[in-house]
Amino acid sequence: MLELTDVDAFYGNSRALQGINLMVGNGEFLSVLGRNGVGKTTLMRSILGLMDRVTGRLSLDGADISPLRTYQRAKAGIAYVPQGRGILPKFTVRENLTLGTFAAKSAGGIEEWVLELFPVLKDFLNRYGGNLSGGQQQQLAIARALLAQPKVILLDEPTEGIQPNIVEQIEDVITRLNRERGITVVLVEQNVAFARRASHRFALLEKGRVVAKGAIGELTDDLIQLHMAV
């Protein structure tokens, strides 16, 4: 399980997260919700070791991961699908996928089951990443993360700015990764309907703090109105 205890995170001297306590059990699906600028991406970056400074405790399966560098956290089983996808535009689809395999504990290559989740990638293996549509790039980013053989996958707004027909496919794949493959999911979303359908638990952020959390059934319309309406 992934656990954050009293986590604060800083950009320089500016504190972007304060006193975060969160836990996601093995095989669970946690959605992290909140308006723009509340600290959702900062939370992902803190888990990955990409912040200037993080205090408090971060553990994976009981082991403290705070001292680990980002690549070591990846090897320990934490994969990341960043907001904006982070595809290398001048690398082919195959090369982008190969980068994902480097983070795997045991060298597995580009596994067939991952390509089968996203048949379009199989057809476009030799195309440049930059020539894919936004939705296809998002699929590539998810596939790349899966090739690292993660225990936990962190997804930062994977449906943001994507055509509705592909959104549905992406939601379906993320849900199945959790339900059928048992991969633990931490999903950052502003898409509440998807979070409700897919998650076991939720956390709502406001100004760098967790203001509500619990079983997904406890995410009431009042809470959404209070913490997500713009």
Ligand X SMILES: Nc1ncnc2c1ncn2[C@@H]1O[C@H](COP(=O)(O)OP(=O)(O)OP(=O)(O)O)[C@@H](O)[C@H]1O
Contact set with ligand X (CB under 6 A): 11, 14, 16, 34, 36-42, 83
Nearest to ligand X of 34, 158 (CB atom) = 34
18 to each of 7, 10, 100, 201, how far by Cα in Å?
6, 9, 31, 20
Q: How are beta strands 78-81 and 152-156 bridged, if at all?
A: parallel
CB of 46 to ligand X, least distance (A): 9
89 binds, among Mg ion, ligand X, none (CB under 5 to 8 A by kind): none
Q: Would you state the structure tokens that stand for residue 109, as one six-digit string? A: 């290559």
CB of 44 to ligand X, least distance (A): 8
- Would you call 197 helix, strand, or coil by DSSP? helix
CB of 122 to ligand X, least distance (A): 31
CB of 20 to Mg ion, least distance (A): 15
Our finding on whether 191 is near Mg ion (CB under 5 A) is: no
Q: Would you state the structure tokens that stand for residue 57, as one six-digit string? A: 């405790």
CA distance 133 to 139: 10
Around Cβ 37, how many Cβ atoms within 10 Å?
12
Name the segment binding Mg ion (CB under 5 A); options: 4-12, 39-47, 97-105, 109-117.
39-47
Name the segment binding Mg ion (CB under 5 A); options: 64-72, 79-87, 91-99, 208-216.
79-87
Tell me the one-letter amino acid at 20: I
